[in-house]
Amino acid sequence: METGEKTFDADIHGEKLYQKRARKALPILVRQAKAEQPIYYSDLAEEIGMPNPRNLNYVLGAIGNSLIKLGKKWNEEIPLINVLVINKNNSLPGEGISYFIKDRKHFENSSKKEKRRLLNLYLSEVFNYPKWGEVLKALNLKRPELPNIKNTTKDKKSWGTGESPEHERLKIFISKHPEILGIDNNLQSTNIEYTFPSQDAVDILFKTKSSWIGVEVKSHISDIDDILRGLFQCVKYKALIEADQMTNNIKPSAEVFLAIENNFPNELLSIKNILGIKVKDNVKIK
């Protein structure tokens, strides 16, 4: 279970473990804000090296307090960047977010629909705030460095030469076990190598009553460059699924997973989180 911010008055300055983690987390949140992409509690915890996402309550609380103090110093309101961190089960921040919201009682007593509407307004403010770089500078923090991904994939001669047996086995296994991705009900159909009008084909497409779920598969023989390629393929497939739905008079509702047989490379965590790709790693064929 993931959770939200705990209410207390400490900020990011200090040598306690949660304060050190807060100084790592805030630049990541600024990066996500610039990409206009929320991040799951578990993904943020993983990226800053925390074994338990539940402990982010102190980390995010310290960040919220620091932004409030800096806003008072600047005589302006800095948007609530904490709203970027959301739960996987409902795509909402944890309960502790209400501590930093102006009309706290109204928010806490609101329906889930109203909370989502209000949080979308806060998200818009975070995405459009032009001074995140100045915020980091004022707090003596640097923007996180990203992996250099330029030209890492241009010389892959093996791509496009056919499907490997390892890839085919993993693809077929996942197609028969949608529960691996948390799809355990409302499944209407399973399509292998679903082809779009563009002639692009996603490895697997599950159709449920509420959503279409694409899966890009990478077997144990895929190296880091191929997994990087898979992340960007997922971006493409999400757009293609939604376009396919719209042209068939279906309300667009799509998810895309990158399913890999090995552990996901730590070097690509930041790219995964910027793009907002859902990854299921360490998939073992049984």
State residue 94's pLDDT score: 85
Q: For the chain, which residues make up each domain, given as ranges?
A: 17-138, 165-280
pLDDT of res. 159 = 47
Burial state string for 165-181 with b = 16 or more CB within 10 A and e = fewer than 16: ebbeebbebbbeebebb
Contacts of 148 by beta carbon, 8 Å cutoff, 6+ apart? none
d(CA 264, CA 278): 11
Tokens of 279: 């990854």
Report the alpha-carbon distance of residue 100 to residue 89 in Å, rounded.
Answer: 22
Rounded CA-CA distance 94/86 in Å is 7
Which stretches of the chain drop beneath a pLDDT of 70?
Answer: 1-8, 149-162
The answer to whether the beta carbons of residues 125 and 180 sit under 8 Å apart is no
**What integer pLDDT is reported at residue 197 of this predicted model?**
95
**Burial class of residue 195 (count of CB atoms within 10 Å of its CB; 0-12, 13-18, 19+):** exposed
Q: Residue 132's closest CA among 48, 13, 12, 27?
A: 27
Architecture of domain 165-280: 3-Layer(aba) Sandwich (3.40)
pLDDT for 158: 47
Distance separating alpha carbons of residues 52 and 245, to the nearest angstrom: 38
Which pLDDT score is estimated for 74?
Answer: 96
Rounded to whole angstroms, the Cα distance separating 51 from 2 reads 12
Provide the pLDDT for residue 148: 72
Q: Which two tokens stand for residue 140?
A: 């003596």
Give the pLDDT confidence score for residue 90 in this predicted structure: 83
32 class by beta-carbon count within 10 Å (0-12 exposed, 13-18 middle, 19+ buried): buried
- Collect all residues with Cβ–Cβ distance below 8 Å to 258 and sequence separation of at least 6: 215, 216, 218, 227, 230, 231, 234, 277, 278, 279, 280
